[in-house]
Amino acid sequence: MAAPNPYVSAQKHVDRVGKMLGLDESVIELLKKPRRELGVNFPVRMDDGSMRIFTGYRVQHSSVRGPCKGGIRYHPNVSLDEVRALAMWMTWKCAVVGIPYGGAKGGVICSPKEMSKGELERLTRRFTSEISIIIGPHEDIPAPDVYTDSQTMAWIMDTYSMSVGHSVPGVVTGKPIEIGGSAGREEATSRGVMYVAEEAARRKGLKMAGATVAVQGFGNVGWHAARLLHGEAGCKIIAVSDSSGGIYNAQGMEPEKIMQHKKKTGSVKGFKGAKDISNEEVLELQCDLLVPAALENVITKENAPKIKAKIIVEGANGPTTPEADEILFKKGIMLIPDILANAGGVTVSYFEWVQDLQFFFWTNDQIKERLKEIMTKAFERVFEHANGSKVDMRTGAYMVALKDVARAFELRGVFP
């Protein structure tokens, strides 16, 4: 069966929640479509002297609440509809945490794993030049996404700066610290996951110290989430997994030691004292907190009835299908949706941008304190909306986001 078109799914959420909120049909129509789309085809000189033509996109969904913000991904499966959906997602994410941005996303169709560093640099610099007519520190601020990283951001920042004749660190976030990056950016998404998990546990009357946790995915988000939930919140990490499979130990495991083992062997499997289990089993374990932090569509109508976690915190984007949402809600499992749960990343990106615009940098403690305040407040608002309307937290989050974007639009009015 073909995967659902992400743009169509994203539009369905807007239709459903827009109608619940009683928004005007024309406003719903506006929110369902990106404001601006740029498609580019451009040449890159390859290492063997040949020239290849690449296709890329930058889509700006909304700039009603502020400049557009969103990552750039390099992947062979990038499509215009995927970029549109991801751009829309960013609009809701920024609104849920109340940071003054609209959503955007970009992508280039390419296979970065098969390209040299030099080819990736030339591709990045040419793509930056192509989209420089719509990006800028006050217009649209890219960030890393799938297969782009702080080095990619450094090239974008340099290319843009060369074209205007002076350094413009605020044109991208997720940069290396040495050229205007922020403290705390790497672990920001996972730290946000921990803060909202703490809020959810409090509402459920569950103690974080000793709470059992299963984490799917041991990459950036999963690893830092396991590390922080264990080291700062005192949780017991009973299972983790990566693309090769999962490991389980009911007594709890130390994430640092799992990471050492993964660095040595290439996977989490075979970790001393733990039992190897399958990826499916990780999701279905008896635990207090389940953190999907790997892929989309992993919690479906097939496995949702078997999930025993009390709280699910979506570290990944889109891990739960709409059918599974319904089943989990009926079972009384509290699910903290991606547009709230993993918004810590874009929040610290916002901090980076603010610091870049002021050329004045904050300490890691200041970052943590401000992130906690924003995530906690956002959780409370979503929780109140969900409880007040007796709907799940995802619907509550969409209610908050759509309400704020629609209100901003109403206040600004229609030009001319």
> What Å distances lie between residue 224 and 74, 186, 230, 391, CA to CA?
23, 9, 10, 30
Give, in order, the Cα–Cα distances in Å from 199 to each of 239, 336, 350: 22, 10, 22
How far is it, in rounded angstroms, from Cα 354 to Cα 351? 5
The residue type of 230 is: H
* Identity of the residue, 63 or 150, whose beta carbon is nearer to ligand NAD in the bound complex: 150
Active site residues: 105
Distance CA 252, CA 249 (A): 6
CB of 299 to ligand NAD, least distance (A): 12
CB of 32 to ligand NAD, least distance (A): 22
Smallest separation (angstroms) from ligand NAD to the CB of 411: 29
Nearest distance in Å: CB 27, ligand NAD: 27
Interface ranges with ligand NAD (CB under 6 A): 189, 216-222, 241-243, 279, 293-295, 315-317, 342, 345
The encoded tokens of residue 42 equal 């451009």
Q: DSSP class of residue 241?
A: E
User: Distance between CA 228 and CA 259 in Å, rounded?
Assistant: 13
The whole-angstrom separation of Cα 189 and Cα 166 is 31
Output the CA–CA distances (angstroms, integers) from residue 306 to 214, 282, 310, 340, in the order listed.
15, 11, 12, 24
What residue ranges in 207-306 does DSSP mark as E strands?
A: 212-216, 236-242, 245-253, 275-277, 289-292
Shortest separation between residue 112's beta carbon and ligand NAD, angstroms: 12
Enter the tokens of residue 314: 């979506």
Return the residue nearest ligand NAD (CB atom): 219
